[in-house]
């Protein structure tokens, strides 16, 4: 690192050379590298769960082709690709706009704590109760083919969506949820939003997805569920009025025709963040149980 014409520039060789000159520089340098590797690892894990991963692979291929075209002296192709790469930052901002927006919104939320492996259990039991009651309601409405949209707000707040509906601010119960979606009643048309383990509002309007890849068979409810899940990290449960099937929208994708137990498991997994210590304890208990079962089988076979 050095100062040149009043401009700060970064010289990698000088930076690494400074490690050997001072033990403190060595410690700070190692810490610097570890932080960068950790952030890179977390970013890759985050992107692998989004549609941006496929785009990143495409960009990687583009970079490789650009380098190869330069080495083999394919002048025109290299010039075109180099020009594209020059404006790559603008292209990335346009292409990754939804992902960038979500990431920035998550910086001030509990999602940032989860990013670094820190979580709390303060309202876990209450959240479980809410999930069980919502599952009971969804299953009951599915049997009767009553259409429903239930949104579970997570770290990214959706006050703009809540404000489009009728404020309720009530405790969650299967009876209330089923009653809201009774056909031809004032609140049945729209979505219920569950925020902070309460029904915040009903008859809320959700943004429709304009993705052409979505099946034509899916109705407005499913498109609205997918549309909202693309814009934020909310989980949306959909009950089809035509088929009575239950679906879940998450991260812009739709998991169709889920049964009661599967619905419960998906909601528990996504709405309750298990503390790291508990997760490790459960893993150890599971391994211990599996080991005991193997020993029992071996003993039985010897007998």
Question: pLDDT tens digits, residue range 255-277?
Answer: 999 999 999 999 999 998 654 44
pLDDT at 30 over 60: yes
Contact by Cβ (8 Å): 124, 271: no
- Quote the pLDDT of residue 136: 96
The first and second tokens of residue 57, run together, are 């692979």
Domains of the chain: 2-115 (no CATH), 124-271 (3.40.1700.10)
pLDDT at 37 over 50: yes
Q: What is the mean pLDDT of residues 79-108?
A: 70
Spatial CB neighbours of 39, under 8 Å, sequence gap ≥ 6: none
- Quote the pLDDT of residue 235: 95
The first and second tokens of residue 119, run together, are 């979580």
- Bridge partners for 193 per DSSP: 151, 201
- Quote the pLDDT of residue 29: 78
> Degrees (nearest 5) of the Cα angle 233, 238, 244?
160
Question: pLDDT tens digits, residue range 3-16?
Answer: 444 444 556 667 66
Contact by Cβ (8 Å): 251, 49: yes
Question: pLDDT tens digits, residue range 113-161?
Answer: 555 554 444 578 889 999 999 999 999 999 999 999 999 999 888 988 9
Contact by Cβ (8 Å): 223, 215: no
Contact by Cβ (8 Å): 229, 236: yes
Question: pLDDT tens digits, residue range 287-303?
Answer: 665 555 555 555 555 55
Q: What is the mean pLDDT of residues 32-36?
A: 85
Place of tokens 């977390």: 42
151 vs 145: CA distance, rounded Å: 19
The first and second tokens of residue 91, run together, are 């292209």
Question: pLDDT tens digits, residue range 56-67?
Answer: 777 788 888 888
Specify the pairing of strand 148-152 against strand 191-195.
Answer: parallel
Does the predicted TM-score (pTM) go above 0.85?
no
| pLDDT band for position 229 (cuts 50, 70, 90) | very high
pLDDT at 2 over 50: no
């Amino acid at each position: 690192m050095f100062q040149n014409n009043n401009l700060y520039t970064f010289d990698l060789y000088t930076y690494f050379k400074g490690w050997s000159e001072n033990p403190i520089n060595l410690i700070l340098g190692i810490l610097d590298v570890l932080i960068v590797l950790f952030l890179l690892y977390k970013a890759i894990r985050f992107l692998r769960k989004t549609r941006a991963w496929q785009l990143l692979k495409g960009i990687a291929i583009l970079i490789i082709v650009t380098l190869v075209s330069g080495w083999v002296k394919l002048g025109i192709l290299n010039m075109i690709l180099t020009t594209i790469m020059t404006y790559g930052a603008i292209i990335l901002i346009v292409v990754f706009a939804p992902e960038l927006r979500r990431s920035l919104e998550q910086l001030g939320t509990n999602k940032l704590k989860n990013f670094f492996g820190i979580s709390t259990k303060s309202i876990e039991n209450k959240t479980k109760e809410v999930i069980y009651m919502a599952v009971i309601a969804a299953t009951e409405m599915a049997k009767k083919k009553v259409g429903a949209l239930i949104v579970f707000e997570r770290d990214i707040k959706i006050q703009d969506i809540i404000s489009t509906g009728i404020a309720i601010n009530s405790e969650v119960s299967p009876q209330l949820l089923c009653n809201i979606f009774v056909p031809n009643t004032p609140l049945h048309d729209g979505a219920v939003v569950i925020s902070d383990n309460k029904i915040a509002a009903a008859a809320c309007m959700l943004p429709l997805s304009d993705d052409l890849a979505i099946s034509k068979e899916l109705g407005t409810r499913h498109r609205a569920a997918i549309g909202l899940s693309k814009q934020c990290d909310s989980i949306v449960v959909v009950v089809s009025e035509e088929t009575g099937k239950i679906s879940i929208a998450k991260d812009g994708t739709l998991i169709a025709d889920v049964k009661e137990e599967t619905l419960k498991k998906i909601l528990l997994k996504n709405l309750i963040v298990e503390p790291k210590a508990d997760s490790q304890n459960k893993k150890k208990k599971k391994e211990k149980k599996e080991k005991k079962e193997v020993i029992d089988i071996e003993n039985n076979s010897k007998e």
